[in-house]
């Protein structure tokens, strides 16, 4: 692409540099902040335990790897909580706590929002179970929605084969709705699940094929 104005080229290249650096720096900064939070939390936990045993704070503990111990303590706590909540008593206790907290004004709203956010993060790392990508004609002829195929079965009530699809919302593909569609109304799509997910995440800015060139270029 040619830029008749040199300042336009400079600004374009600058924005490209920003778009390259910001995600990298942001990722490094986020990891660094999480590590710092874990180390501080571990230090407070060690202060509490060590202080209860000796009456002194853990700063008196000076040995190689003490910061690693601070980092590992919260992770060990998370592991213990996870081990507890997957057990039958833990699941029951969690259901009771969630039921009580969810009904509290304001606090319940904040808790549910954070829980949905964390669940979304968990699902990002989970193995995708979508079988393929298809099109669903909506809301009018000629308009199509991207959908992920989740299953197929014979509907006895209709006497037809139907396909269950998940239609994601943009820009968050983790939310959406499930629809049952007759097989003959499902439109095939040659996109992969990864390509379709990127397209939904970017609100269509990232496409699986080459972009159409404008006449002015």
Three-state SS string over 29-81 comes to: HHHHHHHHHHHHHHHHHHHHHHHHHHCCCHHHCCCCCHHHHHHHHHHHHHHHH
CA distance 125 to 172: 15
Residues 79 and 21 in one domain: yes
Q: Would you state the pLDDT for residue 134?
A: 92
Q: Would you state the pLDDT for residue 217?
A: 47
Residues 46 and 114 in one domain: no
211 inside domain: no
Residues 143 and 191 in one domain: yes
Mean pLDDT of the chain: 79
Cα-based distances in Å from 150 to 122, 127, 172, 209: 19, 13, 18, 25
Q: Is the pLDDT of residue 215 over 50?
A: no
140 inside domain: yes
Residues 104 and 76 in one domain: no
Domain that holds residue 149: 132-201
Q: Is the pLDDT of residue 204 over 50?
A: yes
Domain boundary residue, one of 100, 126, 152: 126
Beta bridge partners of 165: 149, 179
Q: Would you state the pLDDT for residue 201?
A: 83
**What total of structural domains would you count in the chain?**
3
217 inside domain: no
Residues 71 and 33 in one domain: yes
Domain boundary residue, one of 29, 61, 86: 86
- Quick: pLDDT tens for 164-195: 899 888 877 777 888 898 888 889 998 888 88
Q: Is the pLDDT of residue 8 over 50?
A: yes
CA distance 33 to 35: 5
78 inside domain: yes
- Quick: pLDDT tens for 70-113: 788 888 888 888 888 888 888 898 888 888 888 888 888 888 87
Assess contact for 149 and 163: CB atoms under 8 A. Answer: yes
Q: Would you state the pLDDT for residue 62?
A: 60
Domain boundary residue, one of 73, 103, 126: 126
Residues 74 and 2 in one domain: yes
pTM for this one? 0.45
- Quick: pLDDT tens for 9-65: 777 778 777 877 887 788 788 888 888 888 888 877 777 776 666 666 555 556 666
61 inside domain: yes
Side-chain-side CA neighbours of residue 98 (13 Å): 12
pLDDT band for 216, please (50, 70, 90 cuts). very low
């Amino acid at each position: 692409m040619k830029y008749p104005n040199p300042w336009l080229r400079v600004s374009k290249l600058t924005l490209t540099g920003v778009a390259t650096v910001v995600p990298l720096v942001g990722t490094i900064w986020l990891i660094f902040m999480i590590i710092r939070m874990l180390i501080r939390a571990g230090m407070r936990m060690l202060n509490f335990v060590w202080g209860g045993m000796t009456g002194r704070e853990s700063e008196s503990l000076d040995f190689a790897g003490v910061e690693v111990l601070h980092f590992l303590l919260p992770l060990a706590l998370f592991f213990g909580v996870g081990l507890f909540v997957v057990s039958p008593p833990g699941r029951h206790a969690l259901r009771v706590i969630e039921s009580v907290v969810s009904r509290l004004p304001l606090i319940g709203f904040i808790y549910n929002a954070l829980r949905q956010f964390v669940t979304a993060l968990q699902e990002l790392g989970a193995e995708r179970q979508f079988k393929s990508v298809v099109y669903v004609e909506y809301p009018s002829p000629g308009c199509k929605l991207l959908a992920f195929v989740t299953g197929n079965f014979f509907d006895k009530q209709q006497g037809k084969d139907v396909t269950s699809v998940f239609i994601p919302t943009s820009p968050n593909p983790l939310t959406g709705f499930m629809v049952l569609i007759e097989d003959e109304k499902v439109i095939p799509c040659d996109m992969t699940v990864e390509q379709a997910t990127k397209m939904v995440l970017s609100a269509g800015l990232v496409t699986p094929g080459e972009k159409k060139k404008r006449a002015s270029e």
